[in-house]
A and B are shown apart, each in its own frame.
Chain A
Amino acid sequence: MKSAVVVLPGLNRDRDMIAALTKIGGKPPLTIWQTDTEIPDVDLIVIPGGFSYGDYLRCGAIAARMPVMRAVAEKAAKGVMVIGVCNGFQILVEAGMLPGALMRNASLKFVCREVKLQVANANTAFTRSYSAGQIIRCPVAHHDGNYFADPETLARLEGEGQVVFRYAEGTNPNGSINDIAGIMNEGGNVLGLMPHPENLIEHAHGGSDGRGLFESVLGEQSRILTEA
């Protein structure tokens, strides 16, 4: 399993993501820069969180139109797995790789806290290490995580099992429609989520509920490597 992390100006969770992929996957991911137009042969591309291009215009809007994102879209079309976390999710939505939009939090406040997530679909490449309906802890840190989609799109997402994570037990931090925290594309190989599973992977983080996502994606091999 070869992975890569996209690094853009203004992203600040790239090192956390690289650490998580290294610790759970057993080897460090490649890094891809904003101007790269070709991405090496990898099985997984991760777009981490932060404030790419200062969140100018709309969160993720500028990043989504950089050359590297055309290359990411080409890889995704060939079936390469793509995960966007937080600003990465916003970038995927702005790039049209995932449906809907992420708007300003309903509270208008930046939220930085822990929420409960329900694994809404455990039958995906991203969540198979979890059980269906499992409730996990996960940190969030964002100002624009209020997921919105028109009624037809929403019905399709719900009907096709594309809602992967939901805020559970009244912890919706942003007013997201249907408590949506993470969705995947129709092909099941592109996932976007607002919470930060990479920040809850080991004892020092106060828990490891986020590991399941990485273990699901990185496969059986990773589970053996990270027993402890």
Chain B
Amino acid sequence: MNDLSVITKISVASMIKARVTVTLKNGVLDPQGKAIEHALDGLGFSGVGSVRQGKVFDLELEGTDKAKAEADLKAMCDKLLANTVIENYSVTIT
């Protein structure tokens, strides 16, 4: 094991990985989801009741404090990652 791999392992150990999922709120029209729904139907996937398109962000955060990471991630969502007028978000720390 050389020095570089040791450094890599330390840095990985002190990182928190998180996934932020942003979806449209109920009642907000999603024309892209509708188009995908129609395309699926066209491919023969019958019985698709509805499709709603969203976004996924995978983040790596420095540190090991998961509670702080979660609070920071929620602040990031409120300030930038989601438009809370039309979108909901959820945060998962992995």
Instruction: Tell me, in angstroms, the Cα distance from A108 to B53 when the chains sit together.
Output: 13
Of A3-11, A26-34, A98-106, A208-216, which binds chain B?
A98-106
Given contacts A94-B83, A148-B86, A149-B85, contact A103 B29 (CB under 8 A): yes
| Min CB gap A218→B, angstroms | 32
- In the complex the two chains form, is A106's CB within 8 Å of B28's CB? no
Interface size, chain A (Cβ < 8 Å)? 19
Q: A57 to chain B: which residues have CB within 8 Å?
A: 80-81
Please, how many angstroms separate the alpha-carbon atoms of A146 and B34 in the complex? Answer: 15
When the two chains form their complex, are residues A175 and B85 in contact, meaning their CB atoms are under 8 A apart?
A: no
Report, as a range, how many residues of chain B touch the other chain: 10 to 19
Asked if A160 CB lies within 8 Å of chain B CBs, one says: no
B35 proximity list for chain A (CB < 8 A): 108
CB nearest to A150 among chain B residues: B85
User: Given A148-B28, A175-B31, do A103 and B80 touch, yes or no (CB 8 Å)?
Assistant: no
- Residue among A61, A99, A101, A107 making CB contact with B31, cutoff 8 Å: A107
List B contacts of A94 (CB < 8 A).
Answer: 83
Chain A proximity of B80: nearest CB distance (Å): 6
Q: Confirm or deny: B32 has a beta carbon within 8 angstroms of a beta carbon on chain A.
A: yes
Please give me the residue from chain A that is nearest to B84 by CB atom.
Answer: A101
5 additional contacts (CB under 8 A) given A100-B85, A149-B85: A58-B83, A61-B83, A103-B31, A148-B86, A150-B85
Residues in chain B within 8 A of chain A (CB atoms): 28-29, 31-32, 35, 79-81, 83, 85-86
Residues of A with Cβ closer than 8 Å to B?
A: 57-58, 61, 65, 94, 99-101, 103-108, 146, 148-150, 175
